Structure 1
């Protein structure tokens, strides 16, 4: 629920007029017109001004439960702790505030006012205060809206500002960031290119530009731009970092590792880079070195949750008693930030799972998911509507009318379904064939659907999938051709290549219109097994439906029904593989997959685990081992806790 804006402004005005008791009365009177977050937040502000700091802190804890990343609540924590003369907690609070919302100038000023802030933090505060002081008030609001996730407001205000100041570089950059967050990457790219026309040496804009190029899969120009930027700024850590990231994403693993190590030579306490190096070792199967880097990271910063989750996510690491005790101590600290606790709860869930303490394991998975859920934007209703629209638009008549209109390439093999159900195993089997290249979970199809949508900000009106009805043969062919060309950077000399983005099942209609000869493999597991496997996985990005058992059940139901539709309107064109059948009758299943892809049999596909290629998914270690069947009914260890999942699943 959103607050009534007039009531909210009325209360704000009372507070600004120092009518604090009157504001509290007004808050209670209009409670039903306020969101829970605003209700508790406004009450906390009023209580602070009334010098009731302990009460204010209790109210802010409620705000934190509702929105763990709301920067303004941490700013209020800081103000209260300053009044209570608790400098350590004040500094932690202000630091968290600007981490979530760098537009909070009062928090940067609060950091400068504390004697316990270190030199690097003071320098960062000075830099940001200068930046914010020079920023027009409208753009300060835009920046704040961006970091609070209010992208519609940010978009509207930024565009309005640009009407009167069309060449304002910072406004164009902020609008580009908004577009990027909304996955409208082509607009973001255009805006940043325009910025660089006016200010070609602006390092911050170039870094945003490279990041956008990576999002658009323009890996060639991204790598060239990143190399040039680093060449011109060899001592800037930000330029080293964006080049290292670009090298990593373009499979230049050795060069990326060298650059990350150089970053550590300059900044030996850069614990994020330690984890990045650990990921590089993990991808190539050097687990001992991977473990060493993850441990080095948490030894540098004990509170860096990603290091612990990265260890757990190896799927083979066993935590020591000392590590478990340390994790338990940190997650029990009520003042410890929730975003780090999320990583730690998932790590504890995996650790206790390995110890067969399933009660403790599920408790931690549940808490991790509950902390993560408020930061997600998945809507069951919107997903239901999306699936209904696909079924309504992509009919047999559409495919008959536009049969073979798209690009005629037979190169792509799409592996899709839910995450964590066996897609990496299928990929490893196929990529072990001499004629097949593995690529990535390519976001190209998702990006194409966003581009076809042409939906500005968060407007409810959309053109996709309806636009598929009006696209001409040349248009469909061009979109397919662009997809093939954009994948080139990841390919070697194979005749075919794999795209294993699981969410592509939502866009099979688009795929078959632009690439009518593409092969599509749908890999699925039994519903309980598939859903629980997702629930206990903390994803690096996306897959926001996985952090609630109810959402998972509804997503799975829609997935089955949408796949039933695709099989009905595209008979015989999709290969469905059941994971349980695959692992129990492996050799025959492999032959079925190869026959469908029109590939001759090769023994290397049976011995897929001998492949030395880089694997970048959570299953990286599992697919380096021979087939095993022990995990098929593993979810049953958690059956007493999965009532909601059973309740809502239909299949």
Structure 2
């Protein structure tokens, strides 16, 4: 923001000074001071939209989305065709959970001002999050054309192209980002995740050079260490790979420590609270849904790809909706989950199930059923027999050492994360297996276990069993799952576009180097 900014036209110098001070406080994370200054600016110029806009941005940073929406609507009442205001309103609507209205807002902003980069970028980012990869690519290409040196649109376009299976194009955009900023961790992360296009010696030299720099921010350094670890593993330099992955995880854990005690407490509460649930009002509610749950890196993307090849199933990937419905109910009750489970009636569970189905209805527009493969949904598997009793739950498992090692070397966006420490991985895996076993006993007709190695050993037999467990007739297209053209929005996007391979295991090649991890898995700490 500068005094010559046309958006500030008509404001007195003293108001501009107050607005500048408020904007700086907001940028620096000093929210209370920012709110005070921006309120002052708005009171001094109540009929100007810019103080209202900045005050709304501050409210949004403070997670007061309703206040932000109201302020931006007030500003639009003053200047109805302001593209930036429409774009900011869309961001506030997205934060409030109204995804469709947000997308409409960004589209309108881009139509009002086709040169507004933020509108195209946010439109593309949110379309991608909703699985509309083709349209997201168009929007992000527009953002990159308007701002060719900007890193976020370039990297996100690379991600979208990976999800669409256009790996060479994606790599080109990641490398374009690195040409602008050679230490761009997200670009290195993207390149490293294209498993079918391994990094080369020139990349090794570049990574090591960037890691020597003292001015690299922590997030970029961590991402580059993960990429270096993957590069070294691909070259069978296992000691060097382990050292890079260990350094990345240690630095990430120091920034965002994961609480083993909180996890233990959660598991004890969830298992106790779900022991007795009311009989559902409609036992068939949720028949449209196939949940794929379990640990990350356990083959869940592969199982979803097989199901999504079926003409009756839409592969929706990792949906946030179940968690959002539960969070909203916790806020409504003023009690954290799972502490309110015992107080929920059959009517409450029916209402929550219908909310989930309403939120995910768009995934059933083309096909009658959809998958939801958010791995963390295993934590809620115990309530589904009351909330969505007709849903199918497929738990996926893979060799424990292979799963644990794959988690340890995978950079996860969501932090804090159990995968940053080998002892935490062992605890988490034990907790998941223990809880799912109890919930499977309580709901044996709906919770089915499928093992990755069994699928590799007898593909057709296990695919037939998977379809039968989901109540689906056999379809030969499921045997050719790798030919499906759907968007795949996980780190396994490249692998699931190839036929089944028995040579994907990596942990055994490390031999005694992974003995500490194997020991933890064989004798994990008690829950």
Q: TM-score, normalised by structure 1?
A: 0.70
**1:178 CA drift (Å):** 3.7
What is the rounded CA distance, in whole Å, between the counterparts of 1:250 and 1:546 in structure 2?
A: 26
What is the rounded CA distance, in whole Å, between the counterparts of 1:552 and 1:383 in structure 2?
A: 12
The aligned residue for residue 583 of structure 1 is 456
Query: Does the 8 A contact of 1:439 with 1:491 survive in 2?
Result: no
1:363-422 residue CA offsets vs partner (Å, 9 max, x unmatched): 111111122223325211111111111011101x32xx3334577231000001011110
SS of aligned partner of 1:522:
strand
The aligned residue for residue 274 of structure 1 is 154
The aligned residue for residue 266 of structure 2 is 386
Matched, 1:427 2:304: yes
What is the rounded CA distance, in whole Å, between the counterparts of 2:21 and 2:118 in structure 1?
A: 22
- Answer with 556-565 or 255-264: which moved more: 255-264
What is the rounded CA distance, in whole Å, between the counterparts of 1:250 and 1:513 in structure 2?
A: 27
What is the rounded CA distance, in whole Å, between the counterparts of 2:518 and 2:476 in structure 1?
A: 40
The aligned residue for residue 11 of structure 2 is none
Query: Does the 8 A contact of 2:291 with 2:392 survive in 1?
Result: yes
Q: 1:479 to 1:287 in 2, by over 3 A?
A: same
Please report the RMSD computed on the Cα atoms of aligned residues, expressed in angstroms. Answer: 3.2
SS of aligned partner of 1:144:
coil
Q: 1:260 to 1:197 in 2, by over 3 A?
A: closer
Gaps of 5+ in 1: 1-107, 109-128, 147-153, 180-187
The aligned residue for residue 190 of structure 1 is 66
Matched, 1:532 2:378: no
What is the rounded CA distance, in whole Å, between the counterparts of 2:288 and 2:96 in structure 1?
A: 21
SS of aligned partner of 1:199:
helix
Q: TM-score, normalised by structure 2?
A: 0.85
What is the rounded CA distance, in whole Å, between the counterparts of 1:612 and 1:371 in structure 2?
A: 37
- Answer with 431-440 or 547-556: which moved more: 547-556
1:490-523 residue CA offsets vs partner (Å, 9 max, x unmatched): 3442121100000000011233222111000000
The aligned residue for residue 442 of structure 2 is 569
What is the rounded CA distance, in whole Å, between the counterparts of 1:451 and 1:470 in structure 2?
A: 16
**1:205 CA drift (Å):** 6.8
Query: Does the 8 A contact of 2:66 with 2:96 survive in 1?
Result: no
Match among 58, 61, 85 for residue 177 of structure 1: 61
Query: Does the 8 A contact of 2:281 with 2:347 survive in 1?
Result: no
Bigger CA radius of gyration: 1
What is the rounded CA distance, in whole Å, between the counterparts of 2:305 and 2:413 in structure 1?
A: 21
Query: Does the 8 A contact of 1:278 with 1:290 survive in 2?
Result: yes
Matched, 1:338 2:218: yes
- Number of matched residues? 496
- Answer with 196-205 or 409-418: which moved more: 196-205
1:144-192 residue CA offsets vs partner (Å, 9 max, x unmatched): 367xxxxxxx79x989x99xx999965664344343xxxxxxxx54333
Query: Does the 8 A contact of 1:257 with 1:277 survive in 2?
Result: yes
What is the rounded CA distance, in whole Å, between the counterparts of 1:178 and 1:407 in structure 2?
A: 41
What is the rounded CA distance, in whole Å, between the counterparts of 2:459 and 2:382 in structure 1?
A: 30
**1:631 CA drift (Å):** 2.5
Match among 603, 611, 622 for residue 484 of structure 2: 611
Q: 1:571 to 1:407 in 2, by over 3 A?
A: closer
Gaps of 5+ in 2: 2-15
SS of aligned partner of 1:437:
strand
Question: Residues 158-557 of structure 1 correspond to what in structure 2 (within 5 A)?
Answer: 173-179=57-63, 188-200=64-76, 207=87, 209-211=89-91, 213-214=93-94, 218-395=98-275, 397-398=276-277, 401-404=278-281, 408-454=285-331, 462-542=335-415, 544-557=417-430
**1:639 CA drift (Å):** 4.2
The aligned residue for residue 513 of structure 2 is 641
SS of aligned partner of 2:194:
coil
Q: 1:232 to 1:628 in 2, by over 3 A?
A: same
1:267-300 residue CA offsets vs partner (Å, 9 max, x unmatched): 2222332222222221221222122222222122
| Structure ranking higher on relative contact order (CA contacts 8 Å, 6+ apart) | 2
Match among 120, 124, 144 for residue 29 of structure 2: 144
SS of aligned partner of 1:575:
strand
1:449-495 residue CA offsets vs partner (Å, 9 max, x unmatched): 22222299xxxx94322322222333322221121121123344212
SS of aligned partner of 1:523:
strand
